Amino acid sequence: MVETRCKFWRATTLAAVLFLPVWVHAERSIGDISIVAGHPGLQEWLLPDRPPYPEGNKPNAARVSLGRMLFFDPRLSGDGNMSCATCHNPMFGWSDGLPTARGFQSQVLGRATPTIINTAYNELQMWDGRKHSLEDQAMGPLEAGVEMNMLVDELVDWLQGNKGYRSAFALAYPGEEIDGTTASKAIASFERTIVSRDSLFDAWVRGDPSAMTAAQVNGFKVFLDPGKGNCAACHQAPNFTDDGFHNLGLSSSSDEEADPGRYAQKPIRLMQGAFKTPTLRDVARTAPYFHDGSAATLAEVVDHYVRGGDVKDNLSPNMKVLSITDEEKHDLIAFLHALNSPEQATVLPTLPEGGPVSWAAWRPQPKKDRAVAHNE
Ligand code: HEC
Ligand code: HEC
């Protein structure tokens, strides 16, 4: 609750306005009139056309193009084989299709790879919100020993020595150094182009009644209705998140070495085992689900909510056993599919010539030692 923003009250008020008549009259007719394509009360679900960006990093074509190169370049990793896109892969909705991420030399990491779709609209980054902006976040995985395992100093030397990158940086950030800061700014500018705000749901909200099926419209009602799905209590307009943290009672939260989640940043009891509410836009493309990858499908996610969570200790007050029919469950899942953006081709960069960063460190060594070092 402490972490929940005023958007919560906006959404709660909206839900109350839309459903109060349903509760009062014990019928759906008045509520049904409100949940119609193009209704003014629903326009808050549309995302702003352009995501916000911080001062000093206004996106432009040169910045996005440099950021795309850095994002897809595996030479930036310690082994020369892993890029941001290894885990945030456009073919898997900018995630990796794995329950939890595989890091440096394939070790299994503790948390699932979140999509980078719409992270541009996040107030905080990471499952526990420990990063404040995309710029803050970008050097983290490069330096992490368990992820790309690269030294930023070495990376910066390499970028400064690479002709193609030198001119790309000069175009993107004229007069600024080539360093971790400008590299982060470029990556963040690229990430701000990975957005989903043009789904069939958005078309329906804008006023096209045929954009969603009757089942999907009904699924949206279940989603909003505090007496049914109650999903919008946390997955709020417009990006289907409240930028808050909640304990959903996943079974992994009773493990002996359970992930503390937000508690590591905010040591108050309610935050123990609480994780950030993820966006649901494009969610049908990013299975498996939850921070621990414990739900293989959207149906398993919904079943978890229907049970009201598995570990009831320290559960979010908004988690309760749901009374919804099988048909409503089906409609809810159909609705989640309406949040997919249209398929679009991903533009891959042509990378500047030159070997991996780590080759620069290997080059002075005699061939024999290099082979030994490599086998260790
Ligand atoms: C080994 C896999 C892996 C690689 C490589 C990787 N990431 Fe991630 N990324 C993750 C995981 C796992 C998380 C969640 C970690 C956490 O919450 O503690 C994450 C979180 C993020 C987030 C926060 C998303 C959100 O919704 O909070 C962003 C942004 C991001 N990564 C961008 C990048 C960038 C940029 C790179 C390259 C410089 C990169 N990642 C490289 C696995 C990876
Ligand atoms: C109490 C707040 C809350 C409510 C209510 C809630 N969610 Fe969530 N949702 C979250 C949080 C927090 C997560 C991430 C939890 C984690 O991984 O530990 C999440 C995760 C998800 C995911 C997985 C997304 C991913 O990328 O892994 C889906 C899908 C989802 N919720 C759909 C729903 C639906 C449908 C409902 C209504 C039946 C609902 N949620 C109700 C807070 C909530």
Ligand having the closest approach to the CA of 318: 2
Do residues 190 and 86 share a domain?
A: yes
- Ligand 1 atom at minimal distance to the Cα of residue 100: 12
Which residue's structure tokens are 């909510």?
A: 305
Do residues 73 and 174 share a domain?
A: yes
Ligand 2 center–CA 278 separation, angstroms: 7
* Alpha carbons 228 and 221: distance in angstroms, whole number: 9
In the chain, the number of structural domains is 2
Q: Is 15 part of a structural domain of the chain?
A: yes
Q: Is 175 part of a structural domain of the chain?
A: yes
DSSP category for residue 251: G
Q: What is the pLDDT of residue 359?
A: 74
Ligand 2, CB within 6 Å, residue ranges: 229-231, 233-235, 246, 248, 250, 275, 277-278, 280, 283, 286, 289-291, 298, 301-302, 305, 316, 318-319, 332
- The number of beta carbons lying within 10 Å of the beta carbon of residue 366 is 8
Q: Is 146 part of a structural domain of the chain?
A: yes
Do residues 77 and 138 share a domain?
A: yes
Instruction: Provide the residue type at 200 as one letter.
Output: L
* Alpha carbons 9 and 12: distance in angstroms, whole number: 5
Q: What is the pLDDT of residue 361?
A: 58
**Ligand 2 site-directed mutation target among 124, 254, 305, most atoms within 8 Å of CB:** 305
* Alpha carbons 209 and 213: distance in angstroms, whole number: 9
* CATH number, domain with residue 368: 1.10.760.10
* Residue-range definition of the domain harbouring residue 28: 7-47+196-337
Do residues 282 and 201 share a domain?
A: yes
Residue 168 predicted with pLDDT over 80: yes
| Confidence bin at 374 (pLDDT 50/70/90) | very low
| Confidence bin at 93 (pLDDT 50/70/90) | very high
Q: What is the pLDDT of residue 34?
A: 80
| Confidence bin at 4 (pLDDT 50/70/90) | very low
Task: Write phi, then psi, for 212 (nearest 5 degrees).
Answer: -115, 150
Q: What is the pLDDT of residues 320-365, one digit of tens each?
A: 999 999 999 999 999 999 999 999 899 999 999 998 888 765 555 5
Which whole-number Å values give the CA distances from 5 to 47, 130, 233, 247, 367, in the listed order? 17, 17, 11, 16, 58
Do residues 188 and 203 share a domain?
A: no
Q: What is the pLDDT of residue 344?
A: 87
Q: What is the pLDDT of residues 276-294, one digit of tens each?
A: 999 999 999 999 999 999 9
Q: What is the pLDDT of residues 205-234, one digit of tens each?
A: 999 999 999 999 999 999 999 999 999 999
Residue 366 predicted with pLDDT over 60: no
Pairing of strands 245-246, 275-276: antiparallel
Q: What is the pLDDT of residues 41-71, one digit of tens each?
A: 999 999 999 999 999 999 999 999 999 999 9
For residues 340 and 371, which has the higher predicted lDDT (pLDDT)?
340
Distance, C-alpha 141 to centroid of its chain: 15
Task: Write phi, then psi, for 156 (nearest 5 degrees).
Answer: -65, -45
Cα diameter, the chain: 83
Q: Is 150 part of a structural domain of the chain?
A: yes
Ligand 1, CB within 6 Å, residue ranges: 82, 84, 86-88, 101, 103, 109, 111, 113-114, 116, 119, 122, 125-128, 134, 137-138, 141-142, 147-148, 187
